[in-house]
Structure 1
Amino acid sequence: MDWLLAGLGNPGAEYARTRHNAGFWALQTFAEKAGASLRLESRWHCLAATTQNSGQQLGLCLPQDFMNRSGAPVQAMAAFYKVPAARILVIHDELDLPPGTARLKWSGGHGGHNGLRDLDRALGTRDYWRLRLGIGHPGHKDAVIHYVLGAPSTMDKSAIDLAIDRSLAVLPEFLDGRSDAAQKTLHSD
C-alpha cells in the first residue's frame, strides 16, 4: 500500500450533512469517482476500501468512531498495510479557512481540532499530510460546537463541494510525489 487516505467526520445519518463531515464528503466523492466501494471493516472500525490512482495503491478509511476517536481506526488500518505516517493524507474540516478554500499541509499542530488531536496521539506523531477543507468560523469560540455540528448554507455547501473537486483534481500530482506542484495549483484558487 503506497498511501492511506482518511476522511474525518462523525458516523450516522444525523451528522451526514454537518460541516464537521467535510472530510467524509471528500473521501466519499473520491471513492465514487474511483469506483471503490467503502465497506465496514470491523477489525479497523472504519468504512474502508482499496483502489489505485496514478499507479499508486491506496487505502481509504472513514473512521466509524466519533471525531474525537478517529485516531485508532486510522492507525489500525495504517499498521495493517504498513503505511508510515508520512504516507497518510488526512482530510478534514478547517474552521480557520473560508468555505471554498482547500489547503494541503505537511505536519503541524492540531489547532484545536479533536480529530487531529486524537490522530496525533494514536500515530505518535504530527508528521502526516493534511488536506484542510475550509468551512468558515462562526465568529466566537463559544459557538464552534453548534456551528461544526450544523449544516452549511446552500452557498457554503456549494463552495465546499467546489473545493473538494479542486482538491481531488490535484490528488494524482500529490500522490506522484509532486506535493509542491499540487500545493501551488490548489493554493492559487
Structure 2
Amino acid sequence: MSRYSWLWVGLGNPGPQYRFTRHNFGFLVLEEFARLKGLKFSKGPYQSLVSAYKDAFLLMPQTFMNLSGEAVAPLSRKLRIPPERILVIHDDLDLPLGRIKFAPKGGAGGHRGVKSIIEALGTKDFPRLKLGIGRPPQGIAVRDYVLSPFSEEEKPLVRKVLETACEALDYLLEHDLAKTMSLFNR
C-alpha cells in the first residue's frame, strides 16, 4: 500500500517557450496549486518534477507531451498507486475555455499525452481533470493552436479556471471522485 492515495499528473511540455501555452494547462494547474500551498517542485525520477501535498503526489513529466507515459507508468508502479488513483490533468479541445470536467476514465480523445499514458499503463481506466481550451479558429491547425499562448483577453478566464481547478483538487482530497464530479462538472 502506498503512503499516497493519489498521483496527480499535470500534462505539458518542458521549456520556457511552452510555459503559458494551451497545451501546458495541466502544468499551470499544478504550478498554481503549489503556489497556493507553498510547495516547491524538485527534480524527480523518470524525467519529472515532483512535489507532494497531504496524501497526493504531484508529477509534471519533463518528457515531451507525447512521451508522458514514460514518467507516469514507472512512478505509479514505484509508489504503488493503481490507475484508478492517477488523476491526469490536461487541456481539452472539446470543452470551451472556462469549463473543467472530471471524467472517471475514457479514451485519449486525440490527446497524445493521454494516449502515451494509456499505452504505458496498459489501461484507459484512470480519471482525468479536463480543462477546456475550445477549438481553434477557422484556418488554424490544431497543433499550432494548442502550442499557442493564451491571449490577453483569455487570461482572466484562465485565472478563474486555475482557481476552480485548485479548489476541486482540494475538495478531491476530502471527498470521493463521484462527489467531486457532481460538484465541479456543472
TM interval, shorter chain, is over 0.9
Check conservation: 1:138, 1:144, Cα contact below 8 A. yes
Alignment TM-score, normalising by the size of structure 2: 0.92
**1:5 partner SS:** strand
Q: Superposition RMSD on alpha carbons, in Å?
A: 1.5
Q: Which segments of 5 or more consecutive residues in structure 2 lack a partner in the other structure?
A: none
**What is aligned with 1:16?**
19
The answer as to 2:39 corresponding to 1:36 is yes
**What is aligned with 2:48?**
46
Q: How far does the alpha carbon of each residue in 1:19-41 deviate from its partner, in whole angstroms, 9 at most, with x for none?
A: 10000000111112222210112
**What is aligned with 2:153?**
155
Question: What's the CA shift for 1:181?
Answer: 2.5
The answer as to 2:120 corresponding to 1:122 is yes
Distance 1:78 1:140 in 2: 40
Q: Name the % identity.
A: 38
Question: What's the CA shift for 1:141?
Answer: 8.6
Distance 1:67 1:141, change over 3 A: farther
Distance 2:153 2:180 in 1: 26
Distance 1:45 1:141, change over 3 A: farther
Question: What's the CA shift for 1:152?
Answer: 1.3
Q: How far does the alpha carbon of each residue in 1:30-79 deviate from its partner, in whole angstroms, 9 at most, with x for none?
A: 112222210112x3210011221xxxx11110000000000111112211
Number of residue pairs the alignment of both structures matches:
183
Distance 2:178 2:51 in 1: 27
Q: How far does the alpha carbon of each residue in 1:153-187 deviate from its partner, in whole angstroms, 9 at most, with x for none?
A: 12223212212211221223323343232222212
Bigger shift: 169-178 or 75-84? 169-178
**2:141 partner SS:** helix
**1:154 partner SS:** coil
Distance 1:141 1:183, change over 3 A: farther
